[in-house]
Structure 1
Amino acid sequence: MRLFSFLAPAIVIASQAVASPEFWRHEWPNTDFETTNVDSWVEIMSGGPPKDGIPAIMDPSFKTVAEESQIGEREPVMTLEIDGETPRAYPIRYLTWHEIVNDRVGGIPVSVTFCPLCNSGMVFDGRVDEGELTFGVSGKLRNSDMVMYDHQTESWWQQAIGQGIVGHFTGRELVHLPAWMESWAEFKARNPDGLVMDQPNFPRDYGRNPYRGYDSSVRPFLYNGENPPHGIPPLVRVVRVGERAWPLTRLATEGEVSEQGVTISWTAGQASALDDGIIAKGKDVGTIRVKDAQGRDLPHDVMFAFAFHAFWPEGEWMLGQ
């Protein structure tokens, strides 16, 4: 993270100097920059890599739980359980390096996303209107959050809110599917016959965390916005359900909270993907499950507090007593 600290001011200055569609059109000739809900182009910065410099995964392969031997017990995975389909785990050790996995489960096109700089992990339904979308990584950031793009129209989408922000699909919202991050051990215990995404065929150091120490940083990378209110440190994790946020510090202390029609539980045993240089050795941040009054899994996100405040400035902070 020291490297990020030294580079950040230079990257911010360079990004602001060229924050205009006129500088982007050669790379994005198919994007309609005349249609946008972004207030100012300087909100969008280069994260460093170019378009597809972080390669999204298309048509991932899978192996059974019994066949998997590389993933540490405490390593985080994104879990997707769709009724009638075999549960699937998407290891963060792969998503850290690819950020998007485009898959199809039970005939549904899904995009599994993870933005390391916001700790935001969400799964979206790729069906929009009468068509289907797949997504890539634009290389751009807004409020330190990944800007995705769809391969079909090259519209830009904000990952944290699942909304189109530039181009043909501006203002459209993707359906956020119930999914959650948990330890590999938890997934295996509940789904002994489940499937886990196999290692992609790319030259990456899978299992290593290139953002070592990030979730202990004082400030987020490439973020110029306000800090969260109530004295909450910007890189504290919060559980976002709709426009409400529950600090993980509260949930880890109380274990379970039932309010505003949801029940949120916390259990120990999941490693942070953004702490140690080896993901499996990361500090314990625990696993969150979010359910409604009928016990059904609800769409949610476990993100950093600064990102919640940036995208939901009028959001409600659930701080308890």
Structure 2
Amino acid sequence: MRLPTPLIAAAFAICATAALADPAQWVREWPQTDFTRTTIAFDEVIAGGPPKDGIPAIWAPAHLPAAQETRLDDREPVLTYDPPDAPARAYPIRYLMWHEIVNDVVEGLPIAVTYCPLCNSAMVFDARVDGVRHSFGVSGKLRHSDMIMYDRETKSWWQQAVGKGVVGAHAGAVLTQLPGWMESWAEFRDRNPDGLVMDQPDWRRAYGSNPYVGYDSAARPFLYRGEDPPHGIHPLARVVRVGDRAWTFARLRAAGEIREAGVVLNWAPGQASALDSRTIADGRDVGTVRVRDAEGRDLPHDIPFAFAFHAFFPDGVWMLGD
């Protein structure tokens, strides 16, 4: 697995970083963050390598009509947000891989489009807190190998995998997750000929390449110190999380469709893994999952690795079909 140089350095420093999990050390970088308010143990937080904003979030992205986009391969994954009264929008993972957060506004609604490569966690949140718009950046900190975001307004820290405030003025607050899903660019484009796609950001990055080559075939998650998932499930196996329930990709892929607990899950081939080959478009086929209720309405969900589900939902329900 080839990882960015800052992350390699962080791996060697993991023990030292854990020892420095002390708010007194963080205050210099985060003078406006209220470290007296927290919902987590500070020794669970480690440095991911890049500093605060070292992975630059995107503010006010530009969009193109889907018909005008020529850079994306048909198999490349995008994170889709389909609002009820506006054209659907696609956020290519080739950009989220390098920026992790996109702050956007759709028909007056501020949203945070997020992706953590180390957990494969991709979610869209309503970016309002108590009715007030917030904007989010990348803190450079990890917990259970998942990105800790921060808001620019109060400098509170937020756990991306669950959308919860964990440190600062908003500790304990929860962002509303919106229905969004990962699918191939071809699927989005063919279904939404009048849709919009995020344009390439004006940054010098190797867009279209994967800096985490072979990650989702690795033996262990990167910068993760927790226990493995139960039932012999591989830590880096993909699962479909709906609330506190998880279905394995392996089970869903074999069945094609599963109807359980008021949820309808469908799997279809055609989407490349973003965390496999050096070029994202060449990644092996992991397929696309759609998650709906019994009436056919899209449900908020996530497709994290199994270790992340277990870390953030230790009492979660594994839907194994036994």
Question: TM-score category by the smaller chain?
Answer: over 0.9
Q: SS at 2:304's partner residue?
A: strand
Structure 1 position 6, deviation (Å): 6.1
Kept in 2, the 8 Å contact 1:57–1:98? The answer is yes
Residue matched to 2:16? 14
Distance 1:306-1:170 versus aligned 2 partners, 3 A rule:
same
Residue matched to 2:86? 85
Residue matched to 2:218? 217
Q: TM-score, normalised by structure 2?
A: 0.98
Residue matched to 2:155? 154
Residue matched to 1:29? 31
| Farther-moved stretch of structure 1 (306-315 vs 126-135) | 126-135
Structure 1 position 9, deviation (Å): 4.7
In 1, distance between residues paired with 2:284 and 2:227? 27
Structure 1 position 193, deviation (Å): 0.7
1:95-129 alpha-carbon deviations (Å, 9 max, x no partner): 00000000000110000000000000000001111
Q: Percent identity?
A: 62
Residue matched to 1:70? 71
Q: SS at 2:189's partner residue?
A: helix
Q: Which runs of 4+ in 1 moved over 3 A?
A: 2-9
Residue matched to 1:191? 192
Q: TM-score, normalised by structure 1?
A: 0.98
Tell me how large the CA RMSD over aligned residues is: 1.1
In 1, distance between residues paired with 2:162 and 2:70? 34
| Farther-moved stretch of structure 1 (74-83 vs 11-20) | 11-20
Kept in 1, the 8 Å contact 2:266–2:291? The answer is yes
1:58-83 alpha-carbon deviations (Å, 9 max, x no partner): 00001111110000000000000001
1:226 aligns with 2:227: yes
Kept in 2, the 8 Å contact 1:120–1:160? The answer is yes
In 1, distance between residues paired with 2:91 and 2:10? 30
Superposed, 1:115-264 pairs within 5 Å as 115-264=116-265
Kept in 2, the 8 Å contact 1:15–1:42? The answer is no
Superposed, 1:278-293 pairs within 5 Å as 278-293=279-294
Task: Give the aligned residue type for 2:77.
Answer: P
Q: SS at 1:220's partner residue?
A: coil
Matched positions, count: 320
Structure 2 gap segments, 5+ residues each: none
Structure 1 gap segments, 5+ residues each: none
Structure 1 position 320, deviation (Å): 1.0
Structure 1 position 210, deviation (Å): 0.1
Distance 1:136-1:237 versus aligned 2 partners, 3 A rule:
same
Structure 1 position 152, deviation (Å): 0.3
